């Protein structure tokens, strides 16, 4: 689940080799996909990390994410579509920053759900999927309730460091990676702490 964040991060990093935000709102009634995308975009980090510039424009690296786009990024799109629907997915947004030298990328992806319970359900699915993924190691994220971190070395060309966190009716995945393997869990934790503010 939520492979879109990892997929975006991996794609942008590999391509490189060749903030202000609002507080989460509790949804009392479903909102349109467009409204949800705008709400999530407003909640994401907006300031590029030092040394990074806005990455490639357009979905999915930078822009809105609807249910079909979120499901397409998963290993099993049909199962993902069902899981997103059951969790009450409303819309999402991705923001990516890249660095040319040394090559690297930072990504912040948010998904909004109709309820906090739906967001928690999706967060739990994401964590379980990452825990069962080969060549992925879990790390703790002290000081952030509802957050878990992962070092993903599935692709031998790069190592990804990501943190997933749930906040109200939203799930965020922030992470960074580079082909040299210099990205660290500490950097991902700092990004997550910024996103959690």
State pTM to two decimals.
0.85
Q: Where are the beta strands (DSSP E) in the chain?
A: 53-54, 63-65, 89-99, 104-113, 136-139, 147-152, 159-167, 170-178
Q: Lowest mean pLDDT: which of 5-9, 51-55, 150-154? A: 5-9
Q: Lowest mean pLDDT: which of 61-65, 91-95, 124-128? A: 61-65
How many Å apart are CA 137 and CA 158, to the nearest integer? 14
Please check the confidence at residue 28 and state whether its pLDDT lies above 60: no
Report whether 151 contacts 85 (CB < 8 A). no
**Does residue 63 come out as left (phi exceeding 0), alpha (psi in the -120 to 50 range) or beta?**
left
Please check the confidence at residue 173 and state whether its pLDDT lies above 80: yes
Topology annotation, domain 3-17+34-196: Protein Transport Mog1p; Chain A (3.40.1000)
* Length in residues, the chain: 197
**Mean pLDDT for the chain overall:** 85
Locate 90 and state its tokens: 């409303």
Domain map (residue ranges) of the chain? 3-17+34-196
Report whether 88 contacts 111 (CB < 8 A). no
pLDDT confidence of residue 12: 55
Report whether 152 contacts 136 (CB < 8 A). yes
Burial string for 62-74 (b: 16+ CB within 10 Å, else e) reads: bbbbbbebbbbbb
Beta bridge partners of residue 126, listed in sequence order: none
Locate 108 and state its tokens: 């912040």
pLDDT confidence of residue 65: 92
pLDDT tens readout for residues 35-75: 899 999 999 999 888 899 988 776 568 899 999 999 988 87
């Amino acid at each position: 689940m939520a492979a879109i964040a990892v997929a975006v991060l991996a794609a942008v990093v590999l391509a490189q080799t060749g903030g202000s935000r609002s507080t989460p709102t509790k949804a009392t009634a479903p909102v349109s996909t467009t409204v949800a995308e705008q709400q999530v975009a407003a909640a994401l980090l907006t300031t590029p990390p030092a040394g990074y510039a806005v990455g490639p424009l357009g979905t999915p690296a930078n822009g809105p994410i609807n249910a079909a786009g979120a499901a397409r990024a998963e290993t099993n799109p049909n199962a993902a579509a069902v899981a997103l629907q059951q969790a009450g997915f409303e819309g999402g947004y991705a923001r990516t920053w890249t660095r040319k030298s040394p090559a690297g990328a930072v990504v912040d992806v948010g998904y909004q759900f109709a309820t906090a319970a739906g967001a928690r359900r999706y967060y739990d699915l994401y964590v379980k999927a990452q825990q069962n993924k080969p060549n992925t190691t879990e790390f703790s994220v002290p000081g952030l309730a509802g957050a878990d971190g992962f070092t993903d070395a599935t692709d031998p060309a790069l190592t990804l460091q990501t943190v997933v966190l749930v906040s109200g009716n939203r799930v965020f995945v922030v992470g960074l990676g580079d082909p040299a393997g210099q990205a660290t869990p500490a950097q991902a934790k700092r990004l997550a702490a910024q996103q959690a503010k």
